[in-house]
Amino acid sequence: MRIATTIFLTDETITPVRLAHQLEQRGFAGLFLPEHTHIPVNRETPYPAGGDLPREYGRTLDPFVALAQAAAVTERLALGTGITLIAQHDPIDLAKQVATLDHLSAGRFTLGIGYGWNVEEADDHGVTWSTRRRLGRDRLALMRALWTQEPTAYEGEFASVRASHAHPKPYQRPRGPLTGPRTLIGGAAGPRLFAQIAESADGWLPIGGRGLTESVPALRTAWEAAGRDPEGLHIVPYAVLPDPGKLAHYADLGIEEVVLQLPPAAEPEVLRTLDAYAAYL
């Protein structure tokens, strides 16, 4: 099983360069970073995990800048977002950022996308909460038009783009109906999400990895019903706190990759956690 990691990198934690070096030297498979542009102080949206919102949410580094640093000092380490809040981005700008990072890292990038939980954050970006999923799907489709080899126009519900010269193209080659880097969608299990994954993604990024015994077969059914290659489905449990039984259970489900949660801490504590996680490599 490939063991990657995720962490809330902030201005108070280990740096992207030091972490990337340590991950590659120790044999970890990848580094995924979350995204929050800002956290409004007057927030009515409850923190999904309950209790007070942790300090690191309002201090996160920009994931694309941090991952670019990580890419520059490594050769094998996979890089990803977990997750990009796609509805909060201009899709033309985001398509350029994604393609550039995938190009410069020689195809090591995974675009993890999701729709968020913080209503106030999204509202400051002009996102209407009730339509954010449709908006995100529309933005991904527009980005894919810009990633195609030939200039391709796109006319969507929320945005459009003329047939354009847009380079660099992502390093990763088209597969099935998809262009661009490997794309994983986060979110709670359900028919609507699984239909979207089967239509427009490479797989699922389930946070925490609970309930997979029931949900993995359901996703595989939706995937195959959409005519997708069964071998092409990626299910990557995300932000997991590991134990041997949990990882063995994932392996029994046919899962080949997992992303373990690191503490949002200074270098000594992060390295101690990597030492502990080395038992799973």
Residue 146 has pLDDT above 90, yes or no: yes
Band (177; pLDDT cuts 50, 70, 90): confident
Band (34; pLDDT cuts 50, 70, 90): very high
The pLDDT tens digits for 248-275 are 999 999 999 999 999 999 999 999 999 9
Residue 9 has pLDDT above 90, yes or no: yes
Q: For 147-155, what is the mean pLDDT?
A: 97
The pLDDT tens digits for 81-99 are 999 999 999 999 999 999 9
> Kind of pairing, strands 160-161 and 154-155?
antiparallel
pLDDT at 235: 98
Residue 199 contacts residue 186 (beta carbons within 8 Å): no
- Give burial (CB, 10 Å; 0-12/13-18/19+) of 254: exposed
Residue 210 has pLDDT above 90, yes or no: no
Residues 46, 246, 249: CA angle, nearest 5 degrees: 120
Residue 179 has pLDDT above 90, yes or no: yes
Residue 246 has pLDDT above 90, yes or no: yes
pLDDT at 275: 98
pLDDT at 176: 81
Average pLDDT value for the chain: 97
